[in-house]
Amino acid sequence: MPLQNNIKPNLTSQQESIIESEGDLKVEAVAGSGKTTALLEYAKKREGEGFMLYLAFNRAIKEEILRKLRLNNQNDIPTLWVETAHSLAYRSLFRKKTPPLIFDLSLSSIKNYFHLSDTDSTNSYLLARHTKNFFDAFCQSTHKKISDLDYCEKLTPRKGLSYVQKNYDQLERQVKWIFDKMSDTKIPITHDFYLKKYQLSNPKLSFDWILFDEGQDASPVMLDIFMNQEATKLIVGDEHQQIYGWRSAINSLSNTDFPSLNLQKSFRCPAAVTDYAKEVVAWKKHVFPDFNINDFEMIPRTVYSNQNNEEESNQKKTHAVIARTHLGLIQTAIEWLFEAKKVSSVAFEGNFEKYLQLDDGSSISQLVNLNNKASRKKEFWYDWKQIEETAAVSQDRSLKRLVELVKKYGNELPNLLERLQNRITEPHKADITFTTAHKGKGLEWDTVYLQSDFVSEKQILKAVETKTGKSISKARKQSINEEINILYVALTRAREEVRKI
C-alpha cells in the first residue's frame, strides 16, 4: 500500500492499533497487508520524541523504505534512520581501512585454500560444501566459539550427516582457519563474517525505538543484536514467508514473548489468490499434525477495498515468471523466447550473472566448456564427468538441474545464454520479468506464472512417509515447511491471478 504525497493513507483498524501501541510489540502480517505503511506511520507519530531505527532485512528493502519516505516527503525526518544490520556493522568495524570484501565464500576458493584433490571430485566437493555451510552456520549463530556449535544438528541423512560425522575434525579445523584468516584480513571477508564480528563486540545502539522488519527471516545473530538493545522494540513478520532457513534464519516472532497484534487484510491479493494461498498453507497439516489452518486468516482486497481501480486499469499490466531455482528460470526463459516465442524481451530481477552462477563460483557457460583446457584454470571442476558423478550421489539441486539443462541443449547452451542476455532490458520495458521467489520477495505483479519446480502436495505426502511409521526428523520437517513457504511467497506476489506453467 503506497504512501501518497502529504496524504495520510487510509488505515485499517489493525494498522491503527499498531500505530497507537506502547511498549515492545510483535506483529504477524500476511503478504501485502501494508506492514511498511503501518511502520512508517508508527515512526511519523513519534517524530521528535526520540531517535528511531528502522532495521531493514536487506539493502533492497532498505531502498524501498527510503523510496516510500521520499514519496511521502518524510525523507527529512532527522530522528529516523533506515539501515540494515550489515550496514550498521560495516560502518562500526571499518571506519578507517576497508578490507577486501566478497559476497560469499566460493567452493573454488575453499578448494584452493586447502589444496583439495582434483582426482576425487566428489569428496572434494563434499568437503568444500560442508566447510562453507559450517562456516556460514557459525557466522549466523549466537555462539562465541566455533567449537560451541554442533554443525551436525543442522543435518539429516539426506543432507550428508554420516559424511560430516566421519570428517568433523577436518571440517572444524578448516572453518577455524578461514575465520582466523578473515579476522587478520589475510583473505577477503564475507558480509556474514563482519556481521558476526559486530555481534561478538556486543554493540549498544543509541536509539529509543527499533523497528525490525521481515523478522521471520532474521538470523540468530541479527536477533541477538536486536534483543540486546535497551530501546522499545517492534518486530514484524509472517511465519509463512520464512524462506531463509538454509541460511540459518529463524522465526524471530516465535522467539520473542512480546505482546502480539495481527495484520490480516491484504492490499495486494484478490480472493482467487488468497484462496490458493490458504490451500498451500494448509499442506502444513501433513507435516505438523497440530497445525490448524483456521489460525491462518488472509482477507482478500476485494472484501474491503476497491480504491484506485480505475487508475490501476489504465496502467500497463505487469507479468512475472517465478521459479524455485535459478536454472529452472533460465530454462523457462529460453523456452519462452526461442522455442514457444511467447515474448520478445525480458527482465531479470537482480543481477543476471547471479542466475548463471553456481556455489563453486563458476558459471554455466564455463562448465559447459570444460573440454577447453584454458577454461579449467582455477575452476572447481576439471571435466564434465566429475559434475555428472557428483550430481548423481549428492543432494545438490542446482547440480542436478544443470545436468538436465545440458542434456537438453548440449553445446548450444552457451549460445542460447548469450542470445538470452541480449534480450534483457529494464523491467518497465520488458514483456515479462523473470525472478526466483527469493529475489521477488517484497515485489508484486498483476499476473504471476509459477514454474513447475516448486513443491507439490503429492511430494509432501511422499516425503513424510516412513517405512517404520515413525515421524520424520525435525530438520526434515523444517525443510519441507520452508518449501511450502517458498511457494506461498511466490504466489502471493500476484495482484490479479496466478497461472501454473
**Surface-to-core class of residue 193, CB atoms within 10 Å of its CB (0-12 exposed, 13-18 middle, 19+ buried):** buried
The grid cell for 400 is 542436478
* Spatial contact of 408 and 137, defined as CB atoms under 8 Å apart: no
Does residue 102 sit within a domain? Answer: no
Total Cβ atoms within 10 A of residue 292: 10
* Residues 351 and 488 both lie in one domain: yes
Please report whether residue 280 resides in a domain.
no
Q: Is residue 327's pLDDT more than 60?
A: yes
Residues 252 and 323 in one domain: no
* Distance in angstroms (rounded) separating the CA atoms of residues 165 and 147: 14
- Mean per-residue pLDDT, 16-45: 94
Residue 326 to residue 136: CA distance in whole angstroms: 21
Q: Are residues 230 and 118 in the same domain?
A: no
Percent of the chain at pLDDT > 90 equals: 61
Count of residues for the chain? 501
Neighbouring CB atoms inside 10 A of 20's CB total: 9
3-state secondary structure of 500: strand
Q: Are residues 183 and 224 in the same domain?
A: no
Distance CA(239)–CA(246), nearest Å, equals 15
**382 vs 371: CA distance, rounded Å:** 9
372-395 pLDDT per residue, tens: 444 444 467 767 777 888 887 776
Cell numbers 513424510 label which residue?
464
User: What digits encode the pLDDT tens for the residues 76-102?
Assistant: 567 899 999 999 999 999 988 888 999
User: So what's the pLDDT on residue 370?
Assistant: 63
Q: Are residues 335 and 481 in the same domain?
A: yes
Q: What angle do CA 263, 267, 269 make, to 5 degrees?
A: 105
Mean pLDDT of 128-156: 93
Are 355 and 446 in a shared domain? yes
Query: Mean per-residue pLDDT for 460-487?
Result: 88
Collect all residues with Cβ–Cβ distance below 8 Å to 209 and sequence separation of at least 6.
43, 46, 50, 51, 52, 53, 231, 232, 233, 234
pLDDT, tens digit, for every residue of 218-264? 899 999 999 999 999 999 999 999 998 877 788 888 889 999 999 99
Banded model confidence at residue 314, pLDDT cuts 50, 70, 90: low
Enumerate the known binding-site residues for ATP.
Answer: 29-36
Binding site, by residue number, is 29-36
Using 50, 70 and 90 to split pLDDT, how confident is the model at 73?
Answer: low
What amino acid is encoded at 352 in this protein? Answer: F
Residue 268 has pLDDT above 70, yes or no: yes
Give the largest CA-CA distance in the chain. Answer: 66
- Residue 451 belongs to domain spanning: 319-500
Predicted pLDDT of residue 455: 95
Decide if 285 is inside a domain: no
Give the pLDDT band of residue 307 (cuts 50, 70, 90): very low
Please indicate, yes or no, whether residues 181 and 257 belong to a single structural domain of this protein. Answer: no
Q: Are residues 153 and 230 in the same domain?
A: no
Looking at residue 436, the DSSP 8-state letter turns out to be E
pLDDT band at 360 (very low <50, low <70, confident <90, very high): low
Residue 120 exposure: Cα atoms within 13 Å on the Cβ side = 8
Q: Is the pLDDT reported for residue 183 higher than 70?
A: yes
8 — pLDDT class (breaks 50, 70, 90)? low
Residues 386 and 326 in one domain: yes
Q: What is the mean pLDDT of the chain?
A: 88
CA dist., res. 396 & res. 14, Å (int): 43
The pLDDT value given to residue 67: 82
In the block, cell 521477488 appears at 440
Determine the Cα angle at 381 with ends 376 and 386, to 5°. Answer: 125
- Pair 391, 429 in one domain: yes
